[in-house]
Structure 1
Amino acid sequence: MSNSNSKSKFWTRIAYASGTFGHDFFYAMIGTYFMIFVTSNLFNTNDQIYNEYMIGIVTTIILVLRIGELFIDPFIGNTIDKTKTRWGKFKPWVIIGAFIAAITLAILFTDIGGLTSSNPILYLVLFVVLYLIMDIFYSAKDVAIWSMIPALSFDSREREITATFARIGSVFGGQLVTILVIPIVLHFSLNPNGGAGDANGWFAFAVIGGGIATLGAIILGLGTKEGTSTLRENKTETSFKDVFSILLKNDQLLWIACAYLIFGLGQNIVNNFNLYYFIYVLGDSTQFSFLGVINVIIGLLAVALFPTLTQKFTRRKLFIYSIIIMLIALILYAFAGQSVILTLIAAGLFSLPQPLIFLVVLMTITDTVEYGQLKLGHRDEALVLCVRPLIDKLSGAITSGVIGITAIWVGMTGKATAASITLSNLMNFQIVMFAVPFVLMLIATFIYKRKVTLTETEHAKIVKDLEQNWDTINK
């Protein structure tokens, strides 16, 4: 490869990583911090019964909308696959999706002009509309941004390098939120509210985060270009009526999706409760930023080592070893009590393997593009790759429900503080935060080990077969 080509590929990866940086910054805002805003600030009147009632309704709405949209995501992927523009099929969706999602999320991080108190019914109606718009355009961006990987290369090794750059960006973006969220919220808040800030602070956080995500999308759009290959050409397009049929017939896609969903539920429960732990157990939310710093450092290190680790251990072993580390971390976390040091160590150790598992799953799902292409005689990049964000969305929806219900159950809402949490409620909180994820991760590992058989070697054979026979298959 010439020096100029190497430089071009390097800057393409940097641009791509900039897009994933902003994307995961935005994802953390939706998946983790929006529910904290809802439970701590959105409904913060003196009527605690009303607060909990409205939190319960909003939590239910989010759960229903996100689960309902699962049936829309495959059609979003199919639509992206059919997109033909001078800029490619993916980049328009990334940029437009980022812009619209950022605006709608900023509005959602408000009480929409005081409607939560003056007209709750109208607020809920507008909430449904705004959340649905935000979620659909975020999904389109999510599918498009990660579907670019199989369009850039057919080689598993090259895909790992590209995905490593992308994941470095996403880890940095996702963990930077952990560092910045409390400082931003408290800086712009007029009332600290026991460390949870106020509505002004959360709105400023939403505006800043949306701007970062949009800027990253623009950089990606300007700095990347899709590759061309006869293997990416279909003689016929997948119709809407065949969308679910294509997905259901790809057995390796379904099994990795099943394992990832169960794992994601356990992972997200812990991640989403981290800030609650600092606010309502340790009683010091300002320490939470240190966890963000730790996670950025170890996350970037883990991702940078991914190509080396997969060569030494293979993806299957790396997945299992990563789960073992996370289970050990959960045990340490459960016994951390009010020790800030032990909490930071346990939470950091729990976060360490998460980027590695994400990359193993992403690479396996990416390779199922060719697996399905050979098995079904049809190539569907965005349709197949939409499964990963679809799972994240389902996992996030269920987790949001768990977080909202648990926060009400254990009294971690409104004006509550660490001093107001009873020992029995603390025990219930720990069961949900630690014991439930432990069991879920064990189940996910069992499914992955028994059912996911698509290895790097098997994928290389599939690509070779396609290169030799695609013209015959694709008639």
Structure 2
Amino acid sequence: MHKVRQSVTYALGAFGHDAFYAALTTYFIAFVTSQLFEGSDGKQVNAWLIGAITTMVVVIRIVEIAFDPFIGALIDNTQTRWGKFKPWIMGGAIVSSLALVAIFSNFFGLTVSHPNLYLFVFAIVFIIADFSYSALDVAFWGLLPSLSLKSSDRTSIGTVARFGSTLGHTSVAIVLVPINVWVSQWLMGTTGDTETRAGWLGFAIIIAALSLIGALLTCWGTEEGKSPVRKNVKKTSFKDIFGILGRNDQLMWLAGAYFLFALGFAITNSMVVYYFHYVLGHPEEYSMVGIVEAILGVIAVVSFPSLQRLITRKWVYVSSICVMVVGYILYNFSGDSAVMSLVSTGLFYVAQPLVFLATLMTISDCVEYGQLRNGTRNESVTLTVRPLLDKLGGAFSNGIVGVAAVGAGMTGAATAADITASGVMHFKMFMLYIPMVLVIVSAIIFALKITLTEKKHDEIVRKLEEEFDSDAAVENADR
């Protein structure tokens, strides 16, 4: 019963966690380019502000990402009655939720009355949002290897968690437009499918609440495991952080492969909403993307343990990217067909959870791999790598999407009829062709350089347990 509660509450935390991440990284830029600076005449108040905001987001996120390993070290050095992860999970959730609501507003009209002051205030609030979410993110996923030393148990817990995070991420796509329209009608008196800044704010409030509730449930329902292997922890100094990471060769190769994947997927994923709005001209169909993503994502997550046993994690990763490449090719020939676009999008979303889980499980196993090589255990520092890479990919994708949207004319009150053929080609270059190359290179690196298999990890754990059992026996004999 304890294992069930632990898995379920961790999954509920992942639900709110990924809903928050989707709002912050995928939909915030859509809000900026479509509604934030729109005046009463439906035109952008200052188009240059879009570029200023997207540039600030990229710079802030890249600077913040450099601090992630230090956040991991702080978490590793934390000792409280609630463990080392829960205080950071709860504190990060509270601060980031409040900040998310703030950045989805125009700070009481400052975008129009004092745009320069708006940029200053936005920078401060976004820094708070990004840093607090980083603390939550590192602590949340850093908790996973502490729940069990067994690779099979981690796969089980991680799969259930990914089930929750998949639902959280996909639910955002499903409810985004309905919530926006409903809040707009309720508060602004709009009719039809009109979206407003108030609608976006209502959306942000709901997502923030889900993140906060999920974090609370995770803190209540999970418990860090107790093992002699986990006691092999020394205080991590900041000067040792990059040495710890750099000496873990499997972690470094995995980081290179996953970054290319994360960047490629983030670019494409962020631009799907633009595709339905400005290429297909059917923004109302975008909710179907969330439904397709939810169904296929759940199927992918549920099938991961069986696929891992059948073909191993390495080939789950590589095969999933092959499926994505098929999706990119089909997307290129989908034309103005919403059905073909949904099929192509579905191939991305059935592959992404499998790649994520293969990466997450391998990084979790890198904790023991690094422990054997370095002589000390660093859970949070090691686990910072995956969220760091996701955020780095998200940061670069924010800037790329902003450039692509402005270059293709997909801003403000523009419609599909306003987008030229050259604009569509410009857009597809960023959405399809560049990401396809990135994920293919990612698959090649993973296939050739990752040697930390499930079997090898089991051998490492046995060696560590034998070592600590031997040390404990000697210590008892000395007494």
Pick the TM interval, shorter chain: over 0.9
Secondary structure of the residue aligned to 1:128 is helix
Residue 66 in structure 1 maps to residue 64 in structure 2: no
Quote how far apart the aligned CAs of 1:52 are.
2.5
Distance 2:403 2:438 in 1: 19
SS at match of 1:412: coil
Q: Is the 8 A contact 2:174 2:287 kept in 1?
A: yes
Go from structure 1 to structure 2 and tell me whether the alpha carbon gap of 1:19 and 1:49 turns closer, same or farther (over 3 Å shift). closer
**Cα distance change of structure 1 residues 451 and 473 upon mapping to structure 2, 3 Å threshold:** farther
Alignment match of 2:103 (pick from 108, 114, 130):
108
Matches for 1:278-317 after TM superposition, within 5 Å? 278-317=276-315
Contact 2:146 2:224 survives alignment (8 Å) = yes
2:434 maps to amino acid: V
Contact 2:278 2:410 (8 Å CA) reproduced: yes
Question: In the alignment, which residue of structure 2 is the partner of 1:253?
Answer: 251
> Aligned residue for 2:240?
242
Match of 1:3 in 2: none
CA contact (8 A) 1:195 1:284 kept: no
Could you list the per-position Cα deviations for residues 200-223 of structure 1 after superposition, in whole angstroms to 9, with x for gaps in the alignment?
Answer: 000000000000111111111111
CA contact under 8 A between 1:78 and 1:383: conserved in structure 2? yes
Q: Is the 8 A contact 2:166 2:353 kept in 1?
A: yes
Offset at 1:353? 1.1
Matches of residues 37-436 of structure 1 in structure 2 within 5 Å?
37-45=31-39, 51-189=46-184, 190=188, 197-234=195-232, 236-436=234-434
Pair 1:36 & 2:30 matched: yes
Q: Is the 8 A contact 2:45 2:112 kept in 1?
A: no
TM-superposed deviation, 1:294: 1.3
**Aligned partner (choices 436, 447, 451) of residue 438 of structure 1:** 436
Distance 2:270 2:68 in 1: 24
Equivalent AA in structure 2 for residue 163 of structure 1: G
- How far 1:471 moved relative to its partner? 6.9
Q: Which of 14, 17, 23 does residue 17 from structure 2 map onto?
A: 23
Q: 1:278 to 1:49 in 2, by over 3 A?
A: closer
Task: Report the Cα distance in structure 2 between the residues aligned to 1:86 and 1:114, rounded to whole angstroms.
Answer: 45
Q: Secondary structure at the match of 2:46?
A: helix
The alignment partner of 2:406 has SS state of helix
Deviation at 1:12, TM superposition (A): 1.3
* 1:472 Cα deviation after fit: 7.4
TM-superposed CA distance for 1:470, in Å, is 3.9
Residue 48 of structure 1: how far off its partner (Å): 6.2
Q: Which amino acid aligns with 1:327?
A: V
Q: Contact 2:175–2:287 at 8 Å: present in 1 too?
A: yes
Q: Provide the rounded CA distance (Å) in 2 between the counterparts of 1:433 and 1:64.
A: 22
Residue deviations 1:59-111, cap 9 Å, x none?
Answer: 11111111101221111111111111111111121111111101111010011
Instruction: Provide closer, same or farther for how the CA distance between residues 195 and 394 of structure 1 changes in structure 2, counting only shifts above 3 A.
Output: farther
Runs (5+) with no aligned partner, structure 1: 1-6
User: 1:195 Cα shift?
Assistant: 5.9
In the TM superposition, what whole-angstrom CA distance separates every residue of 1:370-396 from its partner, at most 9, and x where no partner exists? 111000101000110011111011000
**Structure 1 stretch displaced more, 42-51 or 81-90:** 42-51
- Residue pair 1:252, 1:453 contacting (<8 A) in 2 also: yes
Deviation string, structure 1 residues 424-453 (Cα, Å, up to 9, x no partner): 101111111111111111111111112111
State the alpha-carbon separation in 2 of the partners of residues 380 and 327 from structure 1.
36
The count of aligned residue pairs is: 469
Q: Give 2:464's aligned residue.
A: 466
Report the Cα distance in structure 2 between the residues aligned to 1:86 and 1:235, rounded to whole angstroms: 17
Greater shift after overlay, 49-58 or 109-118? 49-58
Give the counterpart letter for 1:57 in structure 2.
A
C-alpha distance in structure 2 between counterparts of 1:196 and 1:286, whole Å = 11
8 Å Cα contact 2:42-2:412 kept in structure 1: no
Q: Are 2:96 and 2:132, in contact at CA under 8 Å, matched by a contact in 1?
A: yes
Letter in 1 for 2:48: Y
Retained in 2: the 8 A contact 1:40–1:196? Answer: no
CA distance in 2, matches of 1:193, 1:446: 51
Q: Structure 1: which amino acid aligns with 2:293?
A: N
Q: TM-score, normalised by structure 1?
A: 0.96
- TM-score by structure 2 length? 0.95
Superposition deviation, residue 57 in structure 1: 0.7
* Higher alpha-carbon deviation: 340-349 or 370-379: 340-349
Q: CA RMSD in A?
A: 1.8
In structure 2, relative to structure 1, the CA distance for the partners of 1:109 and 1:381 (3 Å cut) is: same
Q: Is the 8 A contact 1:97 1:137 kept in 2?
A: yes
State the distance in 2 between where 1:321 and 1:447 align: 13
Task: Percent identity, please.
Answer: 45
- The CA distance in 2 between the partners of 1:28 and 1:64, in whole Å, is 19
Which residues of structure 2 form unaligned runs of 5+?
none
CA gap of 1:49–1:188, structure 2 versus 1, over 3 A, is closer
How many angstroms apart in 2 are the aligned matches of 1:166 and 1:331?
Answer: 31
Query: Helix, strand or coil: the match of 1:86?
Result: coil
In the TM superposition, residue 49 of structure 1 has moved relative to its aligned partner by 7.7
1:330 and 1:194 map into 2 onto residues whose CA distance is 33
Partner AA of 2:65 in structure 1:
L
Partner Cα distance (1:393, 1:92) in 2: 22
Deviates more, 1:86-95 or 1:99-108: 86-95
Query: Judging changes above 3 Å, is the alpha-carbon distance between structure 1 residues 473 and 320 closer, same or farther for their aligned structure 2 residues?
Result: farther
Alpha-carbon distance, 1:128 to partner: 0.9
Q: 2-side partners of 1:240 and 1:432: how far apart?
A: 38
